[in-house]
Amino acid sequence: MSNDGVVAVERALSILDCFQPGAERLSLADLSARLPLHKTTIFRMLNSLVRCGYAIRHKDGTYTPGPRLLYLGRVYERSFHLSELVMPVLEALSKKTGESAAYYVEGEELGSRLCLFRCQPHEGLHSQVIAGSVMPPDNSSTARVFKTWAQLEPTQEQTLPYYSCGQRDPHTSSWSVPVIGYENLFVGALTIAGPTVRLNRVDVTFFERTLLQAADELASKLGATADIREALYQ
């Protein structure tokens, strides 16, 4: 069975993707400027979207998202479980690198961070952070992600991922990247960590590329747009 999909459906969805915060009400000309489609094609697809409740046509000829989208959003909210999105990414990242992988969010105190989810291999020596641990402010790679992306402190960091060695404890090294979610907002940090003595011997390029690919996958699942993901992770 082919996985090619249906072009018409993808085009209709691309029309809906044009509606964004700050661009909630668009004319046919606006949509035509945003899409590589002929105006006639866009108009026909809008007619179908309006009939099915996915778009509303107003008297001035502009369009807005329809109530059917709100209904589907509510269905999605009720079915959404963050762990079901994050854990498969962590498990794959840990399996590929052989090291611990963790997802962090902001803690209650300024500068702190909460290890929300974590996955580590069953064998070998690994860092002892467990899910639920709250880490105090420091200069580790994960902490620097939060300083830059949550606390908006000035930074001299040039590229992702961030790296640290011996910051949280003298025997641990890590790489970390920010994770972007819905409305392209910062939501957390993705980290690979392990004993420095072992990480000093790994293929750094492979580790960094693998971490960026995992962050890109997770950000996509959490609703980040393709352009911000490309800018950060690719």
pLDDT tens readout for residues 146-160: 999 999 888 877 789
> Coil, strand or helix: which one is 118?
strand
Q: Check pLDDT > 70 for residue 7.
A: yes
Enumerate the domain spans of the chain: 7-76, 82-233
Please check whether the domain covering 82-233 is classified as CATH 3.30.450.40: yes
Fold of the 7-76 domain: Arc Repressor Mutant, subunit A (1.10.10)
What residues have CB less than 8 Å from 181, skipping those under 6 apart? 187, 188, 219, 222, 223, 224
Q: What is the pLDDT of residue 126?
A: 57
Per-residue pLDDT reduced to its tens digit, 10-66: 999 999 999 988 899 999 999 999 999 999 999 999 999 999 999 999 999 999 999
Cβ atoms of 196 and 86 within 8 Å: the answer is: no
Cβ atoms of 64 and 58 within 8 Å: the answer is: yes
Distance of CA 178 to the CA centre of its chain: 8
Q: What is the pLDDT of residue 133?
A: 84
Q: Is the pTM here over 0.85, yes or no?
A: no
Q: What angle do CA 149, 154, 159 make, to 5 degrees?
A: 65
Domains 7-76 and 82-233 share a fold: no
Which of the two residues, 144 and 130, has the higher pLDDT score?
144
Cβ atoms of 199 and 166 within 8 Å: the answer is: no
The tokens for 48 are: 């179908």
The tokens for 97 are: 């690198």
| Mean pLDDT taken over the chain | 90
Per-residue pLDDT reduced to its tens digit, 158-215: 789 999 998 878 889 999 999 999 889 999 999 999 999 999 999 999 999 999 999 9
Q: Check pLDDT > 90 for residue 124.
A: no
Place 111 in a pLDDT band, splitting at 50, 70 and 90: confident
What's the average model confidence in pLDDT over 120-129?
66
| Nearest residue to 206 (alpha-carbon basis) of 68, 65, 97 | 97
**d(C-alpha 133, C-alpha 196), whole Å:** 21
**d(C-alpha 78, C-alpha 233), whole Å:** 30
Helices (H) and strands (E) in the chain, counts: 9, 8
What residues have CB less than 8 Å from 161, skipping those under 6 apart? 141, 175, 176, 177, 208, 211, 212
